[in-house]
Amino acid sequence: MQELESPLSSRSRYAIHTDGLTRNFGPLRALDGLTIDVPAGIVFGFLGPNGSGKTTTIRLLLGLLEANGGRAEVLGRDVARDGAAIRERCGALLEHHGLYERLSAEDNLDFYGRAWKMPAPARAARIRELLEHVGLWDRRRELVGNWSRGMKQKLAVARALLHRPALVFLDEPTAGLDPVAAAALRADLEALVSSEGTTVFLTTHNLNEAERLCSLVAVIRAGKLLAVGHPDSLRARGSGRIEITGRNLGEGVMAALRARPEVRSVAASNGRLQVELETGAGAATLVSLVVAGGGLVDEVRREQASLEDVFLTLMEEER
């Protein structure tokens, strides 16, 4: 039965919607009840340590793996039923680049363009546009098998974007790229999202990259979702650190601080106190406490956590 394009549903502003998505490999639960919504038209960062289930999630969302539990919709289609239609509408760069080593770069893209049924003139124009963009147009006739890892990676990204998919999965696209090439690719992704409205599902181990590109990030570990939010709101949740400078910041004041439930640790160095706070704790009460204990406060500085700090804290908390 020919399925009609699904009408704009209340969920259509989500490119991806999952509900309790679960996948086991034998006794191992690689993905454990993932429930998440990815709005259309953003760069979504999916972060987690090695083996946490990121690639498994992508394969489930593309209908390349069957779930053991839960469900997922990609571009309004059910992954369990409509895998082929989803793969047609999505671009993907998976861990293996999927290029033909015995074909030239141009022929690789042409092959995929035909598979996507792109008409010849549009195909040729798009191939030129993308190859020029990644600086590989002059080398289009070379066999890909002889290329460096980074060059193959750029070509694989171009391949994923070839048919202007509404949603593109990029599994560690900047791994193995030199800093200049990685920055260029990040700029491309930003441009793509703003000009073509493409939704990008990105995994990366580069947390600065995630912080820069993503307007929503999710952190998983051992298949479980630990946190999701805008990088800024995750950073604000990060266990903060305050530094108090002043005089009379002796043992009495330190003991009073340590007695507070939101204080993880207090250390003194050069007349300064370094106070580690629990997630989300405020500093105002602590400053009053110092003053009440006879401390003379000159300055209180709050250090902003980076996404990397928050990530490491989340990993620690899970242990």
**What is the rounded distance in angstroms from the CA atom of residue 56 to the CA atom of residue 64?**
9
173 binds ligand ATP (CB under 6 A): no
- Positions 155 through 214 that interact with Mg ion (CB under 5 A): none
221 binds ligand ATP (CB under 6 A): no
Query: CB of residue 60 vs Mg ion: minimum separation in angstroms?
Result: 13
Select from 1, 4, 7, 50 the one that contacts ligand ATP (CB under 6 A).
Answer: 50
**What is the rounded distance in angstroms from the CA atom of residue 157 to the CA atom of residue 131?**
10
Strand segments, DSSP code E, in 1-144 are 14-25, 28-39, 43-47, 69-74, 77-78, 90-93
Site map 284..303 versus Mg ion, x via CB under 5 A: --------------------
Select from 16, 42, 45, 54 the one that contacts ligand ATP (CB under 6 A).
Answer: 54
Query: CB of residue 152 vs ligand ATP: minimum separation in angstroms?
Result: 18
30 binds ligand ATP (CB under 6 A): yes
**What is the rounded distance in angstroms from the CA atom of residue 124 to the CA atom of residue 137?**
12
Query: CB of residue 74 vs Mg ion: minimum separation in angstroms?
Result: 18
Contact 228, 216 (CB under 8 A): yes
The region, left, alpha or beta by phi > 0 then psi within -120 to 50, assigned to residue 36 is beta
Q: Which amino acid is at 16?
A: I
**What is the rounded distance in angstroms from the CA atom of residue 308 to the CA atom of residue 314?**
10
Reading the block at residue 283, the tokens are: 């500093």
Contact 236, 228 (CB under 8 A): no
Write down the H helix ranges in 102-178.
Answer: 105-115, 120-133, 149-161
Select from 18, 22, 55, 153 the one that contacts Mg ion (CB under 5 A).
Answer: 55
Q: How many residues bind ligand ATP (CB under 6 A)?
A: 11
Nearer to ligand ATP, 56 or 198 (CB): 56
Among the listed ranges 48-56, 160-168, 213-221, 292-300, the one in contact with Mg ion (CB under 5 A) is 48-56
28 binds ligand ATP (CB under 6 A): yes
Strand segments, DSSP code E, in the chain are 14-25, 28-39, 43-47, 69-74, 77-78, 90-93, 167-171, 199-203, 216-221, 224-229, 241-247, 263-269, 272-277, 296-303
174 binds ligand ATP (CB under 6 A): no
318 binds ligand ATP (CB under 6 A): no
Query: CB of residue 65 vs Mg ion: minimum separation in angstroms?
Result: 13
Beta bridge partners of 256: none
Query: CB of residue 276 vs ligand ATP: minimum separation in angstroms?
Result: 29
From the list Mg ion, ligand ATP, none, which binds 239 (C-beta under 5 to 8 Å, kind-based)? none
Query: CB of residue 122 vs ligand ATP: minimum separation in angstroms?
Result: 34
- The footprint of ligand ATP (CB under 6 A) covers 25, 28, 30, 48, 50-56
